[in-house]
Amino acid sequence: MRLDVQLMIYVYMGICLSLLIFNVFYILVDSSRSRRMKNPGSHLKKLRARVEEYSATGQMPEEWHADNRRNLSHISRLERFHWSMEKLLEEMPEQANTYLAACERDFRYLAPIYQGREELEQAYFAKLLELYGMGRGKEYDELKQVLTEMACSSSIYTRENALQTLYKTGSTEAVCQAFFKMSSRDVFHYGKLLTEGLLRFQGDKILLAAELWRSREELKNEYVLAVMQFIRMSQEGYEEEFLRILKDKAADQEIRLEAVRYFRRYRYEPAYPVLLEIMYSSESIGWEYLAMTALSLENYPGDETVKALKSALTSYNWYVRYNAADTLVRAFQLKRSDLSDVLNGKDKYARDILNYMLQRSERGGEGE
């Protein structure tokens, strides 16, 4: 029995030693590979010579294209190309960018190859396309088709990198196609990322908003919401359509709330009575509507608005009271004398929130 225990100990020690040797070997190999990537040596020298020759002649031999297609299909060589090009972009940015433009046909050739690779390789390739500014133009060509497929990936990195590249191309059709495909395939992507990406679009934002809005029936609610946020943050002109949504009690709650936010940013007189109606409605409508409407009413000053907001100070919900008090004091600049009826009233919570807002205002906004 004792021999068996000793044997197990020796086996365990052997396994631990083997793991230690493997880890040390892996670290050394990885470190060596990293140094080669960041200090590509002969590859950098060769690439620099090509960049200089192309800058001088404006000609790229077919053998260079063939070499790119053959070598850059290997991820390790693509990484080496990336590190070398980074150094050349620092040393000679104009010549390096001109050379990269000439290499775009090779990257177009590689796109469907990397589309079939594992997720990290797809994400890396899509990122390089963005960094190198490839695929620009309105035409929905083969490269943009590959990117729209990558946008439907199960990996958030691949999706986001592909989308960022599409936004940079300035192609309205490509971005719309990506959104339609992602929505139809039930691809989840964070709404904040979608909205921020649309705002970074380098083409005609007015046209992009119009196309996405016109075809919103093809989009699921989370994508429609991102489009509405994009519209709110970038342009007016959708007042009538957003008001129609606001009036539709059967519409998705988040979408209706976004319509309320729109009318906080863009004053639209026909929306005013609808906002007041929400403010006076039963709280069964949901505190979110009341809280957001209390902020949106800052765009519609007047006695009736003040009356509605004072009524909201008695809400059971803290956010509704807070937003109503914020609009009264910060936006409308009302003083204690203007709010004496509430400050001397019976509702303790209304008095407390108003006193807090007034004190904060008197301190010059401290504590915000």
Q: Where residue 323 falls among pLDDT bands split at 50, 70, 90? A: very high
142-161 mean pLDDT: 96
Exposure string over 43-79, b if 16+ CB within 10 A, otherwise e: bbeebbebbeebeeeeebeeebeeebeeebeeeeebb
pLDDT at residue 365, rounded to an integer: 56
281-302 mean pLDDT: 89
Q: Where residue 5 falls among pLDDT bands split at 50, 70, 90? A: low
Per-residue pLDDT of 189-205, as tens digits, reads 999 999 999 999 999 99
Does residue 10 surpass a pLDDT of 70? Answer: no
Q: To the nearest whole number, what is the mean pLDDT of the chain?
A: 90
pLDDT at residue 367, rounded to an integer: 45
pLDDT at residue 110, rounded to an integer: 97
How far apart are alpha carbons 102 and 14 in whole angstroms?
55
pLDDT at residue 143, rounded to an integer: 96
Does residue 29 surpass a pLDDT of 50? Answer: no
Q: Are 248 and 277 in contact (CB under 8 A)?
A: no
Share of the chain above pLDDT 90, in %: 83
- In Å, what is the CA distance from 298 to each residue of 282, 285, 301, 362? 21, 21, 6, 20
pLDDT at residue 362, rounded to an integer: 84
pLDDT at residue 285, rounded to an integer: 77
- The full DSSP string for 277-336 is HHHHS-GGG-HHHHHHHHHHGGGS-SHHHHHHHHHHTT-SSHHHHHHHHHIIIIIS---T
**Residue 170, phi then psi, degrees to nearest 5:** 80, 15
Comparing 93 with 29, the larger pLDDT belongs to 93
Share of the chain above pLDDT 70, in %: 87
pLDDT at residue 54, rounded to an integer: 93
pLDDT at residue 81, rounded to an integer: 95
CA 199 to chain centre: 9
pLDDT at residue 7, rounded to an integer: 63
Does residue 36 surpass a pLDDT of 80? Answer: no
141-161 mean pLDDT: 96
Comparing 123 with 249, the larger pLDDT belongs to 123
Output the CA torsion sign for 104, 105, 108, 110.
negative
pLDDT at residue 121, rounded to an integer: 96
Per-residue pLDDT of 325-368, as tens digits, reads 999 999 999 999 999 999 999 999 999 999 999 999 888 755 44
Does residue 266 surpass a pLDDT of 50? Answer: yes
